[in-house]
Chain A
């Protein structure tokens, strides 16, 4: 079985890579989603922006870098710093914060492989065609629904 078996719908929610982080945040809040795929004008998949990546940009860089400060308790709530970082990031293009190396799958990807990818991240899987155009997003629930159906009918 491949990803083709699943009811992948064209994406209703996308952002241009040039859109601002502020726009991405409002869209996430309004539409109650945590991930938005980025698409170029001709429909090519260009990364995935997540609420997690935005939050990561708000905590101090010295804490998110490898071998950084692990315990931030001593900073108190540091509200001014968080708000500073929010302001600094609001006007940046989303592509700066998007996961560049996010895995995208094709329609001929086997379901096991798709399940393997999905099990290792919290994001849905972008499905693209041969030209790199975004066909839709494959969610965990979509895959589980399909598998459950199969198990019942088998």
Chain B
């Protein structure tokens, strides 16, 4: 449907579809940025208006919704919602803290590693929602300032999320729209994500790590934590870990057996629901399934649905073709310059606005560049977009949903993260990670 023909006669009052679509698009995004109205509502209203004004038919709107992204996200959310009840995340965090003898700097490194690993395999929001409370608990017991740890967790979650297809929504969207596989992401983005994570620890050590110390009795207290007690349901733990292992194996081999990630994630979710339901009566099953579905973040899901339709509207109207032409005009269609512009612009834009709508818009723009830079070179641009959009999220507190989740929890627990001090440290650190990404893109693809 790219560059689809305009159909001016359908738009109300004979207005230009380009103008109508762009107006809806700009208004939708403007209201999303103000955060005055819930973003899912705004996206759905924008989507509805696209159809009501005749820019899109309902069929075209439906075709614009990437159900692969929706299915993958929903499936993983169900799996994680069930798994977290087992206490496995607390177990891992406490185990990690004890492995480094509750040394404050060692703890920061371990929490960053654990967060990055979970963020790579699960969604970032869930990961930080589970790790941040345990981090606060351990720093509380150690009588040390939790802020550096929360900072490290935010960075690690966005860096870890960059590494895989399923780690961060931008990757899910890019992978799904372009047909890049789990392994493509793992081979192309995981190495650089690992390097960036390691390099990020250096300034964190310089800012905070080298000055942190905890008294021996406080460390003894953490060493006395019994991680086995964190596991509340051993049977559930086994079932959940088996399904997660199976699901991730599925992602690895999906492409070679002709399957899409949404099928794998949804099937994994259904399998775990089945395992939980077996041996229970109908009423208990209903309650359990209802609870699991209730924990899916429907706001995010409907936000995606609405956005996909809004983007489909501006795409049909030809606006994204114009955006792509402008980009080509600016870069002269030269691959290297285009890649760097996409990388840096994505990073800076994603630092201040949600990266999901940005990536949703950029995907068709980049697809339109195929004839200019050559279809075989498009992957370079996809990796640039993924790196910029995912890592850019570290630039400010509002850069990624995970950051807001950590900040929200920290505030409720009496250790608020301030917007400006965070950005003063985070933005330069984010730019450094983009500089590393530029070197990587240049070295590997250009």
**Cβ–Cβ contact A62 & B140, under 8 A:** yes
Question: CA of A84 to CA of B139 in the docked complex: distance in angstroms?
Answer: 13
- Cβ distance A80 to chain B, nearest Cβ, rounded Å: 5
B94/A74 in contact, CB under 8 A: yes
Question: Assuming A74-B226, A74-B229, is B134 touching A62 (CB within 8 A)?
Answer: yes
| Contacting residues of chain A (40-70) with chain B, CB-CB under 8 angstroms | 60-69
Interface presence of B137 (CB below 8 A):
yes
Q: Which of B63-106 contact A (CB under 8 A)?
A: 87, 90-91, 94
Q: Is B45 positioned at the interface, with any CB of A under 8 Å from its CB?
A: no
Q: Are B225 and A75 in contact (CB under 8 A)?
A: yes
Is the beta-carbon distance between B224 and A65 smaller than 8 angstroms?
no
- Decide yes or no whether B303 CB sits under 8 A from chain A: no
Q: Are B229 and A61 in contact (CB under 8 A)?
A: no
Asked if A73 is an interface residue, CB under 8 A from chain B, the answer is yes
- Per-position binary interface string of chain B over residues 126-159, scored 1 when its CB falls under 8 Å from any chain A CB and 0 otherwise: 0001001110110011010000000000000000
- Is A76 in contact with B133, judged by CB distance below 8 angstroms? no
Point out the residues of chain B lying under 8 angstroms from A112, CB to CB: none
Count A-B contacts at CB 8 Å: 70
Could you tell me the distance between the alpha carbons of A62 and B141 in the complex, rounded to whole angstroms?
11
Chain A residue contacts of B225, Cβ below 8 A:
74-76
- Is A80 within 8 A of B230, CB to CB? no
B 151-176 contacts with A by CB, 8 A: none
Among A66, A71, A74, the one with the most B-chain Cβ atoms within 10 Å of its Cβ is A74
Considering only CB atoms, which chain A residue lies closest to B405 in the complex?
A67
B141 touches A69 (CB 8 A): no
Bound complex: CA A141 to CA B228 (Å): 45
> Given A61, A66, A71, A76, which contacts B136 in the complex, CB threshold below 8 Å?
A61
Residue-wise interface mask of B (226-244) relative to A, using a CB-CB cutoff of 8 A (1 in contact, 0 not): 1111101000000000000
B345: CB under 8 A from chain A? no
- Report the separation of the CA atoms of residues A113 and B412 in the bound assembly, to the nearest whole angstrom: 31
Write the chain B residue with the least CB distance to A72. B137
List chain A positions with a Cβ less than 8 A from chain B. 60-69, 71, 73-76, 78, 80-81, 84
Contacts A/B (CB < 8 Å), 5 sampled? A61-B414, A65-B133, A75-B225, A76-B225, A76-B226
